[in-house]
Amino acid sequence: MNAMAAAVRPVALRQRVHWADRVGNFGLLGVLLLLGVGLVAPLLLILSKAVDAPEGAAVSGASAVSGWSAFAAYLASPALLTSLWHSVWVSLLVTAIVLPLAFGFAYALTRSCMPAKPLMRTLMLLPLLAPSLLSAISLIYWFGNQGVAKDFWLALGFTGIYGASGIVLAECFAVFPHVLMILVTALSLADARLYEAADALGTGTVRKFFTITLPGARYGLISAGLVCFTLVITDFGIPKVVGGNFNVLATDVFKLVIGQHDFRRGAVVALLLLLPAVITFGIDWLVQRRQTATLTARAVALVPRPSRGFDAAMTLYCLTIVGLVLAMFGMAVFASFAKLWPYNLTPSLDHYVSGLVDGELADALVNSLKLAASTAVVGTAVVFVGAWLLEKTRGFDALRPVVRLAAMLPMAVPGLVLGLGYIFFFNAPSNPLNGLYQTLPLMVLCTVVHFYTTGHLTMVTALKALDAEFEAVSASLKVPLYKTLWRVTLPICLPVLLDVSRYFFINAMTTISAVVFLYSPDTKLASVAILNLDEAGDTGPAAAMAVLIAGTSAGVTLLYLAAGRLLDRRTQAWRAPAR
Amino acid sequence: MDDSYLALRAIHKRFGAFTALGSIDLSIRKGEFVCFLGPSGCGKTTLLRIVAGLETQTSGSIVQAGRDISAAPPAERDYGIMFQSYALFPNLTVAQNVGYGLVNRRHARGQIAARVEELLTLVGLPGSGGKYPAQMSGGQQQRIALARALATSPGLLLLDEPLSALDATVRVHLRNEIRALQRSLGVTTIMVTHDQEEALSVADRIVVMNHGVIEQVGTPLQVYREPASPFVADFVGKVNRLHAVAEGDHWFRCGEKRLRCLPGMGADFRPGSAVALYLRPEDRVVGAVATDDPLHCAGTVRNIEFLGGNCLTEIDVDGLPGQPLQLQYSLNQMDEFGVRQGARVSFALRADRLRVFPAEAAA
């Protein structure tokens, strides 16, 4: 009887679906639809455009073949190969420079008793508040044709700042904070017991470093290296400003699409850009999966012990780096206030007034604020609802892995590629969403999707930290799902929600790569305006605009911090138990 | 018509190719306190979650109070549940936690407050409604979770390892309280536990599970005295296992000893078949035993494990080479009979308590 039942495998019993679960399932479909429209469809269109038959080729059966051969022919063209080679070696070089430097800084922050660690850390993260090309603009003021230290640069043997050397230097500054954050996280996850065991066995400092510290941080190092490489190879703001005649893939896409309207070739290059990002994404995913097992809940946090010589050396090292970053950041600020570079350096608001206000670029800043505020609200709401539906509702088990993957995918898609996909998808006359093209709502969608993954992962982590049985208890008490969401889950997650919202705001404020393809004269953004000003030779106003963005971001960050304090006091009293 | 309040019929649960539960049949009477007992991974928690509707059985039916709830979602079943983690809402006060299920039923505010205070008094925490869960100890949190589960007066109370996160002394204290509360309220209760001592002390009936099947259902005394399988004998309490050979008519040869167990304590075995005899450490008679009694044994104390009021001794018994016996002596008996390491002791086995199983089943 049993054997027979097993052989027949009767259809498994299914529970009746409660109406609240059904609503949740529809919500999940909605999230999938949003990611489908905002991410998957545009990407698929790039793919199909890349292998499209070139103009004038034979129709019908032959088109696919000639499309592929055109694709292959273009891939093999010397111009593209040169750009590819440039992109790869520049990215590798930047990674090789930044990784050890940032590791040293992270090591000082986590393993030394250096004074003023929070301040050092904050200063290092400052560049994140401005568009990445701020460092390129500063570089021009330092080492450009009229730069204050041009002779020093030439004395080093470089022919000028425009070209590979400029790109590498500017990228180093731009990606340093990103790499630093990952490495700090990796190095702060240390188990003091391992070091105590090593001490008990009489292990030397160097051996401890190579047998405990480095292996413990290796996943972080891999991850940081991959992020660094991907950020550099997909960034186009810096090569655009200081690249000169040095072509890389990212600027090629821009030139092909915006300059020559050659969408097909643009799509081919975009696919090439997608490649390293996808590989990175895959490796990172594998690494993350293995990492979960390395640190147990019973680990004891490592507290660094003071050591005069080591601490002094680390302080000196960090001060040097901080000094360089401040010099970089400060130069743009200084130059934006200089009356007439380099002849008259008296402070004035000329670049702000005549360069920006008279240039009718104040609207751009307003547009940027609108975009950032909308993204902060919409993005946070979508990410929270999506993560909550994924983690806390039942049913639709087959769909869940798909939504999970779709939420991870944006991380692997460079902004340039995403923006190009949006042109193909939303500018198509046959698309009913065509009316959205070049409007603010579309830019909001694009930005939300572009930065979806980080917000999603933060939210999922926060939700996973909640007891998995809250929903089960609620069901047993006959309390509907949404009520527990409102009374318990949402209040507990508020601080995280605020963090995610700030992340969206800052990124929407500083992003260039995706939206550069999507604006119209009416919806031009501040970050894009920097690019245009620089192209027109108005480096002063460009710097002023970058400083304005950074200032706005900094102000908003402070507002968020204040709001967070207030929120903590009003709603998070339960966190600090007074026994 | 049977008198069962909750009836599980042929419950199967498969996860892919893995069978988590194979054909569970169980019937629970109203007001009964039942423990699901077994090692981790035996399926006891899965079974509880199926009763709660948090998992769905692959096949089989569940009837509660005459209503078929086999396919009902959790919200449409009648039970209160308490988890190992308690799952108290950290951002709500104790009173809000306890009253969580009441608010939704549109009771008047004063009525809810009164009921909450009544429940808090019931679990021994009157007046602590204004605190947050993080301000309470583990034992207090557990009581609050219990009060919350009981607030809506459910017909069935489900407890998923409710005590395993607590200190040993608190655990003993609380399990007695849960038992007393359950008696006074008369609520049908299922508790999942891996702690046999806990199950023996609180349950009306114990369901011993292993590898997704029920090994035995019985009162604590039945489970302890008359284990239905070698697994139950091993898992519940301490036991000696002796290799023996059946000689027919309930006689067994073990080393140079011949023992006869009661006819009811195990099937008769074909002469010559290998069996395992199970004997609890306390199933022996010490003191004046006639040396010509066939059950009389003499031996040398090899090792003593001190357990407080009792000691567990390991004895090399003459005539049972290679099969040392573990016997239990009270501390007073240790003095009385001069039980020390290396000392000679004599005793008689209580053959009436022997359980016999085929040797291969016991392996």
Predicted confidence (pLDDT) per residue in A398-452, tens digit: 888 899 889 988 988 889 899 999 999 998 888 888 888 889 999 999 999 999 9
A460 and A320, same structural domain?
A: no
Question: Is the per-residue pLDDT at B293 higher than 80?
Answer: no
Question: Chain A within 8 Å of B168 (Cβ-Cβ)?
Answer: no
DSSP letter for each residue of B317-330? ETT-TT-PEEEEEE
Amino acid at A98: V
A528 and A457, same structural domain?
A: yes
Of B172, B206, B234, the residue that ends a domain is B234
Cβ neighbourhood burial of A389 (10 Å; 0-12, 13-18, 19+)? buried
Rounded distance, CA A515 to CA A443, Å?
6
B45 and B99, same structural domain?
A: yes
Of B53, B65, B74, B187, nearest to B122 (Cα)? B187
Segment B230-250 mean pLDDT: 90
User: Is B152 in contact with A478 (Cβ distance < 8 A)?
Assistant: yes
Count of residues making up chain A: 579
Structure tokens belonging to residue B166: 């607590």
A134 and A274, same structural domain?
A: yes
B222 and B209, same structural domain?
A: yes
Residue A59 lies in a domain: no
ipTM of the complex: 0.83
CB burial string B44-76: b at 16+ within 10 A, e below: bbbbbbbbbbbbbbbbbebbbeeeebbbbbbbe
pLDDT tens, residue by residue, A326-341: 998 888 888 888 887 7
Question: Is the per-residue pLDDT at A191 higher than 60?
Answer: yes
A273 and A127, same structural domain?
A: yes
- Per-range mean pLDDT, top range of A55-59, A387-391, A433-437: A387-391
* For chain B, percent of residues with pLDDT exceeding 70: 96
Chain A residues close to B53, C-beta within 8 Å: 15, 475
B242 and B230, same structural domain?
A: no
Question: Is the per-residue pLDDT at A57 higher than 70?
Answer: no
Structure tokens belonging to residue A350: 């000329």
Of B213, B234, B255, the residue that ends a domain is B234
Chain A residues close to B105, C-beta within 8 Å: 478
Segment A261-269 mean pLDDT: 86
**Phi, psi of B92, rounded to the nearest 5 degrees:** -110, 150
A150 and A175, same structural domain?
A: yes
**Phi, psi of A134, rounded to the nearest 5 degrees:** -60, -40
* For chain B, percent of residues with pLDDT exceeding 90: 60
B263 and B229, same structural domain?
A: no
User: Is A13 in contact with B58 (Cβ distance < 8 A)?
Assistant: yes
Residue A8 lies in a domain: no
Question: Chain B within 8 Å of A490 (Cβ-Cβ)?
Answer: no
A465 and A318, same structural domain?
A: no
Residue A57 lies in a domain: no
**Phi, psi of B323, rounded to the nearest 5 degrees:** -130, 70
Please report, for the domain that includes residue B340, its CATH number.
Answer: 2.40.50.100
Closest residue, chain A, to B102 (C-alpha): A477
Q: Smallest Cβ distance to B87: which of A12, A13, A469?
A: A469
A270 and A210, same structural domain?
A: yes
pLDDT tens, residue by residue, A61-113: 445 556 677 778 777 888 888 999 999 999 999 999 999 999 999 999 998 99
Q: Which residues contact A545 (CB under 8 A, 6 or more apart)?
A: A356, A361, A364, A365, A526, A529, A530, A533
Q: What strand order describes the sheet that includes B284-286?
A: B284-286, B344-349, B296-306, B310-317, B325-330
Rounded distance, CA B346 to CA A357, Å?
107
pLDDT tens, residue by residue, A42-55: 999 988 888 776 55
Please report, for the domain that includes residue A543, its CATH number.
Answer: 1.10.3720.10
Question: Is the per-residue pLDDT at B2 higher than 70?
Answer: no
Nearest chain B Cα distance for residue A184, angstroms: 30
B174 and B279, same structural domain?
A: no
Q: How confident is the model at residue B362 (pLDDT cuts 50, 70, 90)?
A: low
Give the count of domains, chain B. Answer: 2
How many CA atoms, within 13 angstroms, populate the side-chain half-sphere of residue A537?
A: 2
Rounded distance, CA A47 to CA B180, Å?
70
pLDDT tens, residue by residue, A123-164: 998 888 988 888 999 998 898 888 888 888 888 888 888 889
Rounded distance, CA B14 to CA B22, Å?
8
Cβ neighbourhood burial of A36 (10 Å; 0-12, 13-18, 19+)? middle
Segment A566-570 mean pLDDT: 86
pLDDT tens, residue by residue, A448-460: 999 999 999 899 9
A371 and A236, same structural domain?
A: no
Whether the CB-CB separation of A337 and A349 falls below 8 Å is answered with: yes
A407 and A310, same structural domain?
A: no
**pLDDT value for A58:** 43
Of A417, A51, A458, nearest to A234 (Cα)? A417
Q: Smallest Cβ distance to A477: which of B14, B59, B152?
A: B152
B217 and B86, same structural domain?
A: yes
Question: Chain A within 8 Å of B132 (Cβ-Cβ)?
Answer: yes
B15: which strand partners? B18
DSSP letter for each residue of A35-103? HIIIIIHHHHHHHHHHTSPPTT---THHHHHHHHHHHHHHHT-HHHHHHHHHHHHHHHHHHHHHHHHHH
Q: How confident is the model at residue A5 (pLDDT cuts 50, 70, 90)?
A: very low
Domain residues for the domain of B225 are 4-234
**pLDDT value for B309:** 86
User: Is A488 in contact with B74 (Cβ distance < 8 A)?
Assistant: no
Domain residues for the domain of A80 are 69-335
Q: Are strands B33-37 and B205-210 parallel, antiparallel or unpaired?
A: parallel
What value does the mean pLDDT of chain A take?
86
Rounded distance, CA A145 to CA A149, Å?
10
B258 and B222, same structural domain?
A: no
Structure tokens belonging to residue A216: 């413990």
Question: Chain A within 8 Å of B83 (Cβ-Cβ)?
Answer: yes
Residue A231 lies in a domain: yes
Please report, for the domain that includes residue B153, its CATH number.
Answer: 3.40.50.300
Regarding predicted confidence, which is higher, B141 or A397?
B141
B156 and B33, same structural domain?
A: yes
Closest residue, chain A, to B99 (C-alpha): A477
A387 and A321, same structural domain?
A: no
Worst-scoring range by mean pLDDT, A461-465, B68-72, B265-269?
B265-269
Of A423, A446, A41, A447, nearest to A258 (Cα)? A423
Q: Smallest Cβ distance to A574: which of B73, B103, B134?
A: B134
Residue B49, SS3?
helix
Task: Note the pTM of the prediction, 2 decimals.
Answer: 0.86
**pLDDT value for A1:** 41
**pLDDT value for A61:** 47
User: Is A488 in contact with B133 (Cβ distance < 8 A)?
Assistant: no
Q: Which residues contact A235 (CB under 8 A, 6 or more apart)?
A: A132, A171, A174, A250, A513
Question: Is the per-residue pLDDT at A516 higher than 60?
Answer: yes
Rounded distance, CA A178 to CA A125, Å?
8
Rounded distance, CA A418 to CA A402, Å?
20
Q: Smallest Cβ distance to A18: which of B12, B73, B89?
A: B73
Rounded distance, CA B226 to CA B206, Å?
13
Give the count of domains, chain A. Answer: 2
Euclidean distance between the first and the last CA atom of chain A, given in angstroms as a whole number: 60
**pLDDT value for A56:** 47
Q: Smallest Cβ distance to B85: which of A2, A469, A480?
A: A469
A448 and A323, same structural domain?
A: no
Residue A374 lies in a domain: yes
Whether the CB-CB separation of A77 and A451 falls below 8 Å is answered with: no
A386 and A237, same structural domain?
A: no
Whether the CB-CB separation of B64 and B156 falls below 8 Å is answered with: yes
Rounded distance, CA B69 to CA A286, Å?
43
Question: Chain A within 8 Å of B89 (Cβ-Cβ)?
Answer: yes
In chain B, the DSSP E strands lie at: 4-15, 18-29, 33-37, 59-64, 67-68, 80-82, 156-160, 188-193, 205-210, 213-218, 240-248, 251-254, 257-260, 274-279, 284-286, 296-306, 310-317, 325-330, 344-349, 355-358
Residue A56 lies in a domain: no
Question: Chain B within 8 Å of A474 (Cβ-Cβ)?
Answer: yes
Rounded distance, CA A465 to CA B185, Å?
35
Closest residue, chain A, to B75 (C-alpha): A475
B58 and B154, same structural domain?
A: yes
Whether the CB-CB separation of B356 and B276 falls below 8 Å is answered with: yes
Rounded distance, CA B305 to CA A228, Å?
62
Question: Is the per-residue pLDDT at A221 higher than 80?
Answer: yes
Residue A504 lies in a domain: yes
Of B179, B208, B234, the residue that ends a domain is B234
Question: Chain A within 8 Å of B100 (Cβ-Cβ)?
Answer: yes
User: Is B135 in contact with A578 (Cβ distance < 8 A)?
Assistant: yes
**pLDDT value for B265:** 61
B63 and B152, same structural domain?
A: yes
